[in-house]
């Protein structure tokens, strides 16, 4: 297994603001490997296998997989969630490692945005982890607003991930994203000085 010496994993909880952090890091000139984007492509590439497992009820009117419908199924059933992960994760992992190997050749720090970094069974060969942190009540508030969902579903989504406080203990660096964008930017600038 290749050692990714220049990689820093970015993780967090749902609605902690990983996208905002990644956007700002890009502005500072850093490369980002986006696991969500890769997962989106995986869903397209492996559409046949996903449909075999979940049926055509998950399709929208254009015959594309409706991520919201699929999300409702997996957030209400752990076995189904595990099944979807077993279909998608090998593809996602291979693509992340392929992109990382290319970036390693530049000998510059880059970031790998992996929302479920601590949850995935097969660990990535990345030693440093940056956690985008926001307390659970802020996550809940942002998620309800962002996805226009009720408190119950928002809570289920948060609970489906490892607790944010546990992630905090296991991370190398922490960026507090519990306030506004100006504060977030100051947090990122302080972090970039350390690395």
What is the arithmetic mean of pLDDT over 126-153? 96
Confidence (pTM): 0.91
Mean pLDDT over the full length of the chain: 95
**How confident is the model over 30-41, as pLDDT tens digits?**
999 999 999 999
Q: How confident is residue 72, by pLDDT bands cut at 50, 70 and 90? A: confident
Average pLDDT for 140-166: 93
- Which tokens in the block code for residue 27? 């502005």
The predicted model gives 101-125 an average pLDDT of 94
10 vs 120: which has the higher pLDDT: 10
Question: How far apart are alpha carbons 10 and 25 in whole angstroms?
Answer: 11
- Residue 73 above 70 pLDDT? yes
CA distance 7 to 9: 6
Q: Answer whether residue 113 shows pLDDT above 90.
A: yes
Residue 117 — left, alpha, or beta (φ > 0 → left; ψ -120 to 50 → alpha)? Answer: alpha
Average pLDDT, integer, range 100-125: 94
Mean pLDDT of 57-69: 94
Question: What CA–CA distance (Å, rounded) separates 44 from 38?
Answer: 10
Confidence of residue 1 (pLDDT cuts 50, 70, 90): low
* pLDDT, mean of residues 111-137: 94
């Amino acid at each position: 297994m290749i050692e990714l010496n220049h990689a820093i994993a970015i993780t967090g909880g749902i609605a902690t603001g990983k996208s905002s952090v990644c956007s700002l890091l890009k502005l500072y000139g850093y490369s980002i490997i986006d696991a969500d984007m890769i997962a989106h492509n995986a869903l397209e590439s492996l559409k046949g296998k996903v449909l075999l497992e979940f049926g055509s009820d998950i399709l929208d009117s254009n015959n594309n997989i409706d991520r919201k419908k699929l999300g409702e199924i997996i957030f209400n059933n752990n076995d189904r969630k595990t099944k979807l992960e077993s279909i998608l994760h090998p593809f996602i992992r291979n693509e992340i490692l392929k992109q990382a190997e290319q970036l390693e050749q530049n000998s510059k720090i880059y970031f790998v945005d992996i929302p479920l970094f601590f949850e995935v069974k097969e660990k990535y060969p990345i030693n440093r982890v940056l956690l985008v942190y926001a307390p659970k009540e802020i996550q809940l508030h942002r998620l309800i607003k962002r996805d226009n969902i009720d408190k119950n579903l928002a809570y289920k989504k948060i609970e489906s991930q490892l607790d944010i406080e546990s992630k905090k203990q296991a991370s190398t660096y922490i960026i507090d994203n519990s306030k506004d964008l100006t504060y977030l930017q100051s947090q990122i600038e302080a972090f970039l000085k350390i690395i």
